[in-house]
Amino acid sequence: MQFQQISQLFSAYDSKPVSEEIHPNDVMFNTGQSHYYTVGKTGVTAVLTALAMSWKQDVSSILDLPCGHGRVARHLRLLFPQAKLYCCDIDAEGADFCARTFGGISIHSQPDLLRVALPRNLDLIWIGSLFTHLDKQRTDAWLRYLVDHLSEHGVLVSTFHGYFTDKHTTMHGGVDEQRIRRDFAEVGFGYAPYTTLEGMGDYGFSLSKPSAILDIADSIPGVRASYIERGWANNHDVLVLNKNDRLQGF
Ligand SMILES: C[S@@+](CC[C@H](N)C(=O)[O-])C[C@H]1O[C@@H](n2cnc3c(N)ncnc32)[C@H](O)[C@@H]1O
């Protein structure tokens, strides 16, 4: 996408008020109103940065996974008012709320994303803080699965906990923090499940070095990869996968 187009998209988005409809169970709102909207808006910045590096000319279909209760979905809707917006989360109430409130289509996820039928030919997939809670094996498998659902030149934008999170974040939920930080330092990817949160299954906290995520990206055929440390909310790292074969000639 050309810079001029990016600039027009951002100006149009920035001139309109974002929806202030907050679901009572939106736990992301617990961090405070100002932080909530800033994080949402920087989702737009990350997406536009990714689009600036892509060969995509327009965005007509978007998957927000996991949408939660719409911290970013409300901004994506403003940025692309005409696009088909799929809102997917394992929290069905969150997905339904987003679809209803921001004019989208709800998809109820499952603990194993590979079992979820997702729409194909997606122009944009936004993954805000999903792999930040999963192990390396699922990160690898799910990234491949999602790339399969991109259109030609489609763009996947996904966030990760990197060096900054390692240094500045306290982990909750009874995770084995020592193990996560040790594996992060030694092999580039650390993960441990939450132990004090009920019914979460194999879901916890992960830290990953850019090199570990780029190694995964490197092994996925048919894409080009870019990485932006602290590219979301000045905190999470951002992986961008463009659905263009890195080996394709001119
Ligand atoms: C940290 S929140 C981020 C939510 C949202 N992206 C945001 O920025 O507010 C993580 C989300 O992942 C969802 N989740 C966990 N496992 C999932 C799965 N297997 N499929 C889809 N969503 C899942 C949770 O329900 C939760 O809404």
Q: Is residue 128 part of a domain?
A: yes
For the CA of 94, the nearest atom of ligand 1:
27
Q: How many domains is the chain partitioned into structurally?
A: 1
Residue 200 has pLDDT above 90, yes or no: no
Whether 55 maps to a domain, the answer reads yes
Q: Please check the confidence at residue 228 and state whether its pLDDT lies above 80.
A: yes
Give residue 95 CA to ligand 1 midpoint distance, Å. Answer: 10
Assign 114 a pLDDT band (cuts: 50, 70, 90): very high
- What value, to the nearest 5°, has the Cα angle with vertex 77 and ends 71 and 83? 140
Please indicate, yes or no, if residue 248 is contained in any of the structural domains.
no
Q: Which two tokens stand for residue 73?
A: 């979905």
User: Is 98 inside any structural domain?
Assistant: yes
pLDDT band at 201; cut points 50, 70, 90: confident
3-state secondary structure 127-171: ECCCHHHCCHHHHHHHHHHHHCCEEEEEEEEEEECCHHHHHHCCC
State how beta strands 150-160 and 189-193 pair.
Answer: unpaired
Closest CA to 152 of 249, 58, 48, 250: 58
| Full residue range of the structural domain in which residue 147 is found | 3-16+25-242
Length of the chain: 250
Stretch 71-84: mean pLDDT: 98
| Average pLDDT of the chain to the nearest whole number | 97
What is the distance in A from the centroid of ligand 1 to the CA of 9?
A: 27
- Percent helix, strand, coil in the chain, to 5, is 40, 25, 40
Look at residue 250 in the predicted model and tell me its pLDDT. 86
User: Ligand 1, residues 31, 76, 101, 130: which to mutate, most atoms within 8 A of Cβ?
Assistant: 130
The pLDDT score that the predictor gives to residue 199 is 72
Please report, for the domain that includes residue 46, its CATH number.
Answer: 3.40.50.150
- CA pair distance 58, 189, nearest whole angstrom: 35
Q: Is 182 left (phi over 0), alpha (psi -120 to 50) or beta?
A: alpha
| Tens-digit pLDDT profile for residues 123-137 | 999 999 999 999 999
The mean pLDDT of 206-223, rounded to a whole number, is 98
The answer to whether residue 250 sits within a structural domain is no
Q: Decide whether any atom of ligand 1 lies within 6 Å of the 90 Cβ.
A: yes
> Average of pLDDT values for 173-195?
97
Decide whether any atom of ligand 1 lies within 6 Å of the 95 Cβ: no
Give the confidence band of 99 by pLDDT, cuts at 50, 70, 90. Answer: very high
